[in-house]
Amino acid sequence: MKVVIIGGVAAGPKTASKIIRLTPDADIAVVEKGSLLSYAGCGLPYYVSGEVKEQKHLMETPAGAVRDSAFFQNVKNIKVHNNTEALEVDRAGKRVRVKSSKTGEESWLSYDKLVLATGASPVIPRLSGIDKKNVFTLHGVHDAEGIKAILAEGKAQDVVIIGGGLIGVETTEALAAHGCRVTVVEMLPQILNMLDWEIAQLVEQHLESKGVRVMTATKALALESRHGDGECVTHVQTDKGDLPADMVILAIGVRPNVTLARKAGLSIGEKTGALCVDDHMRTSDPDIYAAGDCVECTDRLTGRPCFVPLGSTANKQGRVAAVNICGGNETFPGILGSTVCKVFDFCVARTGLTETGALSAGYEIVTSMAPGPDKAHYMPQSKPLLLKLVADKETGRLLGVQATGPGDGAKRIDVAATAISAGMTLDDIANLDLAYAPPYAPAMDNLITATNVARNKRDGLMVGISAQEVYRKIQDGADFFFLDVRSPQEYAEVRLPKSTLIPLGALRKRLNEIPKDKEIVAFCKISLRGYEAALVLKAAGYDNVKVLDGGVAMWPYEKEK
């Protein structure tokens, strides 16, 4: 069996490696336009920062072997044509025309099965000055080397990142580690559009606490050079003023590379612009498979096509394609968009649907905001973790979870992704037998606490109100009683606007200070005491009592000090 694989970074090498394990006598050729193979693109920000010391570490196996052409030939018996571009797919003749960038020679490679793993390319905006020497993306090792070179010269005091998605936000720490003043310019109203607004706002506040300037709802207009030679950008012009820039990094996102597939007449998704595949990773041609960042996926909750390029997905899809090419019957069920990234000392993660996504998909939902320590609170290594949970109000099925904060969010998101995949409800999750020991988790895990808050709201035991709603009331001058039940010490350190302090322990004795004819919104640091205060008030005959979701810890606006 002859297999030609176009693409040698993630999905391509995974497909090739699995095929050779299943069918050792297969004749496999991998065609890669670049010179480097099977490198960890997600590790590039850490290579720029210096945390990953050498370029070769991004291309090594866990045992330390560099995955180059010789490695694939000697260890796996896979022929790699790197520095070679695939120009044309002749479906009728079952062959691929390729061209060597070193010699300029063209040739044809025949196949029984073809795999397209052509990946994605960075979106390059139409801005003047985009071709200047100090303008980069962070899409490959060569870009990373260019950025590192400027940083090593100490010539990048001011860096502007255009785009507030994953790559843009992850790169801020690498630049700050080199002493750069970093500004993130994002055209949308928030950074990290994969998150709901209030969670993204907490991340934005964290970035700014680390010295990163974040400019949302801001459009880059031009990259200007005000030096005599004009070879380098010195300023970024935006609709909110000019920004000094010794280096510009474009991090707007990526688009699937489907030119080859389109020319070959293969089906392309109308909404995603990515290559259409079935659950066996077959394209509209049964002898052509595709995997990785060039293909569209299916959202497991909505059933809708989506484009969420991730290395984890590429590797899983490559394996599925390989199994089916070798005569197996394996399916790829779709994705939940599970994502995690490091933003300085914050973990930022999500899986499933956001509140915005669930509402647009037609769900009636219940949400919860649950901040708390990621380990037993008395352990010195415990750190705050902020969770937002979204569930279907009618069935109780978990739809999505978001996490941020310095605590361990990744494992909670992994449990949530598993629960969503299994169709679990809030009641199922509330009684999961999760591991507990004080150095690793609280007795009631953060995810279980978030689940129980949602159950209380669903069952009418608690009426929550979002920070956005409360903030709007404050801005509009609404007549309500904003009750802070924390301690005087906590109140002295930080407080929310227009709030009144009555500590929980004194609440029963001071009920006469709380009007019964007004809406009452109770809160504390994480709103656990706020919930207890609401129960006290209800028992005392107050019938319009709500609890601020997430309390002070998840208040996304300015606080008073």
232 is catalytic: no
Q: Which of 518, 471, 479, 517 is nearest to 496 (CA)?
A: 471
Report the CATH fold assignment for 135-252: FAD/NAD(P)-binding domain (3.50.50)
| DSSP 8-class letter at 105 | -
Burial class (CB in 10 A: 0-12, 13-18, 19+), 433: exposed
Identical topology for domains 2-120+255-325 and 135-252 = yes
* Residue 204 near residue 181, CB atoms below 8 Å: no
Please state the length of the chain.
Answer: 561
CATH architecture of 464-554: 3-Layer(aba) Sandwich (3.40)
The number of angstroms, rounded, from the C-alpha of 411 to the middle of its chain's C-alpha atoms is 15
CA dist 216 and 238 (Å) reads: 11
CA dist 533 and 555 (Å) reads: 19
* Residue 37 near residue 340, CB atoms below 8 Å: no
Name the residue ranges covered by the structural domains of the chain.
2-120+255-325, 135-252, 345-458, 464-554
CA dist 185 and 215 (Å) reads: 5
pLDDT at residue number 37: 79
pLDDT at residue number 430: 97
pLDDT at residue number 454: 97
Angle at 484 between CA 483 and CA 489, to 5 degrees: 155
* Residue 235 near residue 254, CB atoms below 8 Å: no
* Residue numbers in the chain where pLDDT is lower than 50: none
For 159, the token pair is: 């860096």
| DSSP 8-class letter at 239 | B
> Residue 146 phi/psi, 5° resolution?
-65, -45
pLDDT at residue number 496: 97
CA dist 87 and 264 (Å) reads: 10
Place of tokens 């909750």: 301
Report the CATH fold assignment for 2-120+255-325: FAD/NAD(P)-binding domain (3.50.50)
* Residue 58 near residue 26, CB atoms below 8 Å: no
pLDDT at residue number 228: 66
CA dist 64 and 57 (Å) reads: 8
pLDDT at residue number 61: 84
Q: Which of 242, 251, 246, 170 is nearest to 212 (CA)?
A: 170
Catalytic residue among 42, 232, 306, 347: 42
Give the class (CATH, top level) of 345-458. Answer: alpha beta
